[in-house]
Protein backbone atom coordinates (compact mmCIF):
# COMPACT_ATOMS: atom_id res chain seq x y z
CA UNK A 1 0.00 0.00 0.00
CA UNK A 2 1.17 3.53 -0.81
CA UNK A 3 -0.37 6.30 1.29
CA UNK A 4 0.00 10.06 1.07
CA UNK A 5 -0.72 11.29 4.61
CA UNK A 6 -1.32 15.02 5.15
CA UNK A 7 -1.86 16.33 8.69
CA UNK A 8 -3.00 19.97 8.55
CA UNK A 9 -2.61 21.76 11.88
CA UNK A 10 -2.81 25.35 13.04
CA UNK A 11 0.87 26.07 12.38
CA UNK A 12 2.23 23.33 10.15
CA UNK A 13 1.21 20.87 7.48
CA UNK A 14 3.00 17.58 8.12
CA UNK A 15 3.32 15.19 5.18
CA UNK A 16 4.49 11.58 4.93
CA UNK A 17 4.52 9.61 1.69
CA UNK A 18 4.40 6.05 2.97
CA UNK A 19 5.41 3.22 0.65
CA UNK A 20 5.34 -0.25 2.17
CA UNK A 21 7.83 -1.45 -0.47
CA UNK A 22 10.54 0.64 1.18
CA UNK A 23 12.55 -1.20 3.78
CA UNK A 24 11.79 1.20 6.62
CA UNK A 25 9.28 3.97 7.19
CA UNK A 26 12.25 6.24 8.02
CA UNK A 27 13.24 5.97 4.33
CA UNK A 28 9.94 7.45 3.18
CA UNK A 29 9.61 11.08 2.08
CA UNK A 30 8.45 13.44 4.79
CA UNK A 31 7.96 17.20 4.95
CA UNK A 32 6.93 19.85 7.47
CA UNK A 33 5.48 22.93 5.76
CA UNK A 34 3.59 26.05 6.90
CA UNK A 35 -0.14 25.36 7.19
CA UNK A 36 -2.47 26.80 4.52
CA UNK A 37 -4.08 29.01 7.19
CA UNK A 38 -0.72 30.66 7.89
CA UNK A 39 0.06 31.10 4.19
CA UNK A 40 -3.30 32.71 3.38
CA UNK A 41 -3.06 34.89 6.50
CA UNK A 42 0.12 36.42 5.08
CA UNK A 43 -1.68 37.25 1.85
CA UNK A 44 -4.45 38.97 3.82
CA UNK A 45 -1.88 41.00 5.76
CA UNK A 46 -0.32 42.22 2.51
CA UNK A 47 -3.75 43.30 1.23
CA UNK A 48 -4.33 45.10 4.53
CA UNK A 49 -1.06 46.99 4.16
CA UNK A 50 -2.08 48.01 0.63
CA UNK A 51 -5.58 49.03 1.85
CA UNK A 52 -7.24 46.64 -0.61
CA UNK A 53 -10.62 45.00 -0.08
CA UNK A 54 -10.65 41.19 -0.22
CA UNK A 55 -12.89 38.67 -1.96
CA UNK A 56 -12.45 35.07 -0.77
CA UNK A 57 -13.58 32.14 -2.90
CA UNK A 58 -12.87 28.41 -2.68
CA UNK A 59 -13.47 25.66 -0.13
CA UNK A 60 -13.46 25.42 3.66
CA UNK A 61 -10.02 25.55 5.29
CA UNK A 62 -8.84 25.88 8.87
CA UNK A 63 -9.60 29.33 10.29
CA UNK A 64 -6.86 30.05 12.82
CA UNK A 65 -4.36 32.64 11.62
CA UNK A 66 -6.35 33.26 8.41
CA UNK A 67 -9.60 34.08 10.23
CA UNK A 68 -7.71 36.34 12.64
CA UNK A 69 -6.11 38.22 9.73
CA UNK A 70 -9.55 38.73 8.15
CA UNK A 71 -10.91 40.23 11.38
CA UNK A 72 -7.93 42.58 11.60
CA UNK A 73 -8.54 43.57 7.98
CA UNK A 74 -12.12 44.58 8.81
CA UNK A 75 -10.94 46.58 11.85
CA UNK A 76 -8.95 48.74 9.42
CA UNK A 77 -12.22 49.72 7.73
CA UNK A 78 -11.67 47.42 4.72
CA UNK A 79 -14.20 45.04 3.20
CA UNK A 80 -14.12 41.25 3.23
CA UNK A 81 -16.48 39.40 0.87
CA UNK A 82 -16.70 35.60 0.98
CA UNK A 83 -18.69 32.96 -0.82
CA UNK A 84 -20.88 30.86 1.45
CA UNK A 85 -18.62 27.79 1.20
CA UNK A 86 -15.49 29.79 2.00
CA UNK A 87 -17.22 31.61 4.88
CA UNK A 88 -17.53 28.38 6.88
CA UNK A 89 -13.77 28.75 7.34
CA UNK A 90 -14.39 31.56 9.82
CA UNK A 91 -17.32 30.08 11.76
CA UNK A 92 -19.66 27.14 11.31
CA UNK A 93 -22.59 29.51 11.90
CA UNK A 94 -22.94 31.97 9.01
CA UNK A 95 -24.91 34.43 11.15
CA UNK A 96 -21.82 34.68 13.38
CA UNK A 97 -19.69 35.26 10.28
CA UNK A 98 -21.92 38.14 9.22
CA UNK A 99 -21.79 39.61 12.74
CA UNK A 100 -18.03 40.02 12.30
CA UNK A 101 -18.63 42.35 9.37
CA UNK A 102 -17.93 39.81 6.62
CA UNK A 103 -20.20 40.05 3.58
CA UNK A 104 -21.40 36.66 2.34
CA UNK A 105 -22.28 36.55 -1.33
CA UNK A 106 -24.23 33.92 -3.24
CA UNK A 107 -23.54 34.59 -6.91
CA UNK A 108 -21.01 35.97 -9.37
CA UNK A 109 -23.05 39.12 -10.01
CA UNK A 110 -22.65 40.25 -6.42
CA UNK A 111 -18.93 40.88 -6.86
CA UNK A 112 -18.72 41.55 -10.60
CA UNK A 113 -17.56 45.13 -10.03
CA UNK A 114 -15.29 44.21 -7.12
CA UNK A 115 -11.97 46.01 -7.22
CA UNK A 116 -9.58 44.43 -4.75
CA UNK A 117 -7.60 41.30 -3.91
CA UNK A 118 -9.12 37.89 -4.74
CA UNK A 119 -8.07 34.80 -2.76
CA UNK A 120 -8.89 31.28 -3.93
CA UNK A 121 -8.51 29.21 -0.78
CA UNK A 122 -8.03 25.47 -0.37
CA UNK A 123 -5.83 23.31 1.82
CA UNK A 124 -5.22 20.05 -0.07
CA UNK A 125 -2.84 20.90 -2.91
CA UNK A 126 -1.65 17.57 -4.25
CA UNK A 127 -0.66 18.95 -7.63
CA UNK A 128 1.91 21.30 -6.07
CA UNK A 129 3.33 18.42 -4.05
CA UNK A 130 3.58 16.27 -7.16
CA UNK A 131 5.42 18.96 -9.10
CA UNK A 132 7.94 19.21 -6.27
CA UNK A 133 8.38 15.46 -5.70
CA UNK A 134 8.87 14.53 -9.35
CA UNK A 135 12.29 16.18 -9.19
CA UNK A 136 13.27 13.61 -6.55
CA UNK A 137 12.01 10.61 -8.49
CA UNK A 138 8.77 10.26 -6.54
CA UNK A 139 5.36 9.91 -8.16
CA UNK A 140 1.88 10.30 -6.71
CA UNK A 141 0.12 8.66 -9.66
CA UNK A 142 0.36 5.25 -7.97
CA UNK A 143 -0.85 6.36 -4.52
CA UNK A 144 -3.55 4.02 -3.20
CA UNK A 145 -4.90 6.27 -0.43
CA UNK A 146 -4.70 9.98 0.34
CA UNK A 147 -5.38 10.43 4.06
CA UNK A 148 -5.97 13.95 5.37
CA UNK A 149 -6.34 15.15 8.95
CA UNK A 150 -8.10 18.45 9.67
CA UNK A 151 -9.79 19.78 12.77
CA UNK A 152 -13.53 19.99 12.15
CA UNK A 153 -16.01 21.07 14.84
CA UNK A 154 -18.91 20.34 12.50
CA UNK A 155 -21.94 22.48 11.70
CA UNK A 156 -23.87 22.36 14.95
CA UNK A 157 -27.61 22.97 15.54
CA UNK A 158 -28.74 26.40 16.68
CA UNK A 159 -28.66 26.72 20.44
CA UNK A 160 -26.09 23.91 20.85
CA UNK A 161 -22.54 24.64 21.95
CA UNK A 162 -19.99 23.79 19.28
CA UNK A 163 -17.77 22.42 22.06
CA UNK A 164 -20.53 20.13 23.30
CA UNK A 165 -21.48 19.07 19.77
CA UNK A 166 -17.92 18.09 18.84
CA UNK A 167 -17.42 15.74 21.79
CA UNK A 168 -20.89 14.23 21.61
CA UNK A 169 -20.37 13.46 17.92
CA UNK A 170 -17.18 11.57 18.76
CA UNK A 171 -19.00 9.64 21.47
CA UNK A 172 -21.76 8.73 19.03
CA UNK A 173 -19.20 7.43 16.51
CA UNK A 174 -17.41 5.29 19.10
CA UNK A 175 -20.28 3.85 21.12
CA UNK A 176 -20.82 0.88 18.83
CA UNK A 177 -17.13 0.11 18.29
CA UNK A 178 -14.61 2.13 20.36
CA UNK A 179 -11.55 1.59 18.16
CA UNK A 180 -9.66 4.81 17.28
CA UNK A 181 -9.95 4.19 13.52
CA UNK A 182 -13.72 4.67 13.78
CA UNK A 183 -13.01 8.39 14.00
CA UNK A 184 -11.60 8.17 10.45
CA UNK A 185 -13.93 8.24 7.46
CA UNK A 186 -13.85 6.94 3.93
CA UNK A 187 -15.20 9.49 1.47
CA UNK A 188 -18.73 8.01 1.58
CA UNK A 189 -18.77 7.79 5.40
CA UNK A 190 -18.19 11.45 6.31
CA UNK A 191 -21.06 12.83 8.44
CA UNK A 192 -22.88 15.69 6.72
CA UNK A 193 -21.99 18.13 9.49
CA UNK A 194 -18.23 17.94 8.79
CA UNK A 195 -17.88 20.43 5.95
CA UNK A 196 -14.12 20.83 6.20
CA UNK A 197 -13.58 17.07 6.00
CA UNK A 198 -15.93 16.86 3.02
CA UNK A 199 -14.00 19.65 1.28
CA UNK A 200 -10.71 17.81 1.90
CA UNK A 201 -12.07 14.53 0.51
CA UNK A 202 -13.47 16.30 -2.55
CA UNK A 203 -10.11 17.98 -3.20
CA UNK A 204 -8.44 14.57 -3.10
CA UNK A 205 -10.88 13.12 -5.64
CA UNK A 206 -10.55 16.16 -7.91
CA UNK A 207 -6.76 15.88 -8.02
CA UNK A 208 -6.14 12.12 -7.72
CA UNK A 209 -9.41 10.49 -8.86
CA UNK A 210 -7.96 6.96 -8.81
CA UNK A 211 -6.88 7.19 -5.16
CA UNK A 212 -9.13 6.44 -2.22
CA UNK A 213 -9.75 9.30 0.20
CA UNK A 214 -9.70 9.08 3.98
CA UNK A 215 -10.25 11.95 6.41
CA UNK A 216 -9.83 12.20 10.17
CA UNK A 217 -9.75 14.86 12.85
CA UNK A 218 -6.21 15.95 13.77
CA UNK A 219 -6.38 15.06 17.49
CA UNK A 220 -7.59 11.44 17.05
CA UNK A 221 -5.00 11.03 14.26
CA UNK A 222 -2.26 12.09 16.69
CA UNK A 223 -3.56 9.70 19.34
CA UNK A 224 -3.58 6.79 16.89
CA UNK A 225 -0.07 7.79 15.77
CA UNK A 226 1.18 7.69 19.36
CA UNK A 227 0.05 4.08 19.59
CA UNK A 228 2.59 3.20 16.85
CA UNK A 229 5.52 4.37 18.96
CA UNK A 230 7.61 1.24 19.78
CA UNK A 231 7.35 1.69 23.56
CA UNK A 232 3.63 2.47 23.50
CA UNK A 233 2.83 -0.49 21.23
CA UNK A 234 4.00 -2.90 23.93
CA UNK A 235 1.60 -1.56 26.59
CA UNK A 236 -1.95 -2.79 27.17
CA UNK A 237 -3.17 0.30 29.02
CA UNK A 238 -2.06 3.70 27.77
CA UNK A 239 -2.97 7.29 28.59
CA UNK A 240 -2.32 9.27 25.41
CA UNK A 241 -2.26 13.07 25.48
CA UNK A 242 -2.04 15.32 22.42
CA UNK A 243 -1.23 18.87 23.57
CA UNK A 244 -1.98 20.96 20.50
CA UNK A 245 -1.75 24.69 19.87
CA UNK A 246 -5.43 25.17 20.67
CA UNK A 247 -6.87 21.86 21.88
CA UNK A 248 -5.63 19.13 24.19
CA UNK A 249 -7.14 15.69 23.76
CA UNK A 250 -6.54 12.80 26.16
CA UNK A 251 -7.68 9.21 25.78
CA UNK A 252 -7.19 6.00 27.68
CA UNK A 253 -6.60 3.08 25.34
CA UNK A 254 -7.09 -0.40 26.81
CA UNK A 255 -6.65 -3.48 24.63
CA UNK A 256 -6.68 -1.29 21.47
CA UNK A 257 -10.00 0.38 22.37
CA UNK A 258 -10.83 3.85 23.68
CA UNK A 259 -12.38 3.65 27.14
CA UNK A 260 -12.36 7.38 27.99
CA UNK A 261 -11.84 10.53 25.92
CA UNK A 262 -11.51 14.17 26.98
CA UNK A 263 -10.90 17.43 25.10
CA UNK A 264 -9.98 20.77 26.64
CA UNK A 265 -8.35 24.04 25.57
CA UNK A 266 -4.57 24.10 25.92
CA UNK A 267 -4.41 27.75 26.93
CA UNK A 268 -6.27 27.00 30.17
CA UNK A 269 -3.60 24.63 31.46
CA UNK A 270 -0.83 25.00 33.98
CA UNK A 271 1.38 22.02 34.76
CA UNK A 272 -0.33 21.57 38.13
CA UNK A 273 -3.79 21.73 36.60
CA UNK A 274 -3.12 19.26 33.79
CA UNK A 275 -1.61 16.80 36.28
CA UNK A 276 -4.76 16.92 38.41
CA UNK A 277 -7.04 16.66 35.38
CA UNK A 278 -5.22 13.63 34.00
CA UNK A 279 -5.17 11.75 37.31
CA UNK A 280 -8.86 12.47 38.00
CA UNK A 281 -9.65 11.55 34.40
CA UNK A 282 -7.92 8.16 34.66
CA UNK A 283 -9.49 7.47 38.06
CA UNK A 284 -13.00 8.17 36.74
CA UNK A 285 -13.45 11.15 39.07
CA UNK A 286 -13.73 13.84 36.37
CA UNK A 287 -17.09 14.69 34.84
CA UNK A 288 -18.15 16.05 31.48
CA UNK A 289 -19.83 18.98 33.23
CA UNK A 290 -16.63 19.95 35.05
CA UNK A 291 -14.59 20.03 31.86
CA UNK A 292 -17.26 21.95 29.93
CA UNK A 293 -17.79 24.55 32.66
CA UNK A 294 -14.02 25.05 32.81
CA UNK A 295 -14.12 26.13 29.16
CA UNK A 296 -13.23 22.77 27.67
CA UNK A 297 -15.21 20.59 25.29
CA UNK A 298 -16.06 17.76 27.63
CA UNK A 299 -15.44 14.06 28.14
CA UNK A 300 -17.17 10.70 27.94
CA UNK A 301 -16.67 7.24 29.40
CA UNK A 302 -17.30 4.25 27.14
CA UNK A 303 -16.25 1.75 29.79
CA UNK A 304 -14.89 1.83 33.32
CA UNK A 305 -11.48 3.53 33.15
CA UNK A 306 -8.27 1.96 34.35
CA UNK A 307 -7.25 3.62 37.60
CA UNK A 308 -4.31 5.96 37.30
CA UNK A 309 -1.80 3.65 39.08
CA UNK A 310 -2.61 0.89 36.55
CA UNK A 311 -1.73 3.01 33.51
CA UNK A 312 1.36 1.37 31.99
CA UNK A 313 2.50 4.29 29.82
CA UNK A 314 1.61 7.98 29.64
CA UNK A 315 2.41 8.99 26.06
CA UNK A 316 2.46 12.65 25.02
CA UNK A 317 2.71 14.43 21.69
CA UNK A 318 1.78 17.79 20.18
CA UNK A 319 3.53 21.18 19.85
CA UNK A 320 2.85 22.10 23.51
CA UNK A 321 3.76 18.73 25.00
CA UNK A 322 6.44 20.36 27.16
CA UNK A 323 3.71 21.44 29.62
CA UNK A 324 3.45 17.78 30.66
CA UNK A 325 7.20 17.52 31.24
CA UNK A 326 6.77 19.96 34.12
CA UNK A 327 4.02 17.95 35.85
CA UNK A 328 6.40 15.49 37.49
CA UNK A 329 4.55 12.58 35.83
CA UNK A 330 6.54 9.78 34.19
CA UNK A 331 5.82 10.69 30.56
CA UNK A 332 7.07 9.10 27.35
CA UNK A 333 7.26 11.56 24.44
CA UNK A 334 6.07 9.51 21.51
CA UNK A 335 8.03 9.63 18.25
CA UNK A 336 6.54 7.17 15.75
CA UNK A 337 8.78 6.74 12.71
CA UNK A 338 11.45 8.45 14.82
CA UNK A 339 9.90 11.93 14.49
CA UNK A 340 7.40 13.66 16.78
CA UNK A 341 6.21 15.78 13.82
CA UNK A 342 5.08 12.62 12.05
CA UNK A 343 2.69 11.49 14.82
CA UNK A 344 -0.39 12.68 12.92
CA UNK A 345 0.67 11.27 9.53
CA UNK A 346 1.59 7.92 11.11
CA UNK A 347 -1.86 7.84 12.72
CA UNK A 348 -3.45 8.50 9.33
CA UNK A 349 -1.45 5.70 7.72
CA UNK A 350 -2.47 3.29 10.45
CA UNK A 351 -6.12 4.32 10.02
CA UNK A 352 -5.83 3.77 6.25
CA UNK A 353 -4.40 0.27 6.80
CA UNK A 354 -7.19 -0.65 9.21
CA UNK A 355 -9.96 0.82 7.05
CA UNK A 356 -8.84 -0.43 3.63
CA UNK A 357 -6.77 -3.59 4.09
DSSP E strands: which ranges in the chain?
2-8, 12-19, 29-34, 54-58, 80-83, 103-105, 117-121, 145-149, 184-186, 212-216, 237-243, 247-254, 257-265, 298-301, 313-317, 331-333
72's enclosing H/E stretch is helix 64-75
Predicted confidence at residue 49, as pLDDT, reads 97
Q: Look up the pTM and report it.
A: 0.93
Which residue numbers in the chain have pLDDT < 50?
A: none
Instruction: Check: CB of residue 295 under 8 Å from CB of residue 268.
Output: yes
Predicted confidence at residue 52, as pLDDT, reads 96
Predicted confidence at residue 157, as pLDDT, reads 83
Query: Of all residues in the chain, what percent carry a pLDDT higher than 90?
Result: 79
Strand, coil or helix: what is 243?
Answer: strand
Predicted confidence at residue 108, as pLDDT, reads 58
Predicted confidence at residue 109, as pLDDT, reads 55
Amino acid sequence: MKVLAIDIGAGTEDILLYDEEKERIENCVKMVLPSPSVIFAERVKKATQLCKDIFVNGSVIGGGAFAHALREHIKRGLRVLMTEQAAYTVRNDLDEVRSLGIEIIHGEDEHRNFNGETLEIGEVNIRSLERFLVGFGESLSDVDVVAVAVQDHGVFPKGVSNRRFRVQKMKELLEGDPKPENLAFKEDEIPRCFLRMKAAAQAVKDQLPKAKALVMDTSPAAILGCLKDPKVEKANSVLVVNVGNCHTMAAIISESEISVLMEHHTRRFTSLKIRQLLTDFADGKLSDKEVFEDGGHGLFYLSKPTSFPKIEVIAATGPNRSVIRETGLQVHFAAPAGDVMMTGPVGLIEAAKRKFE
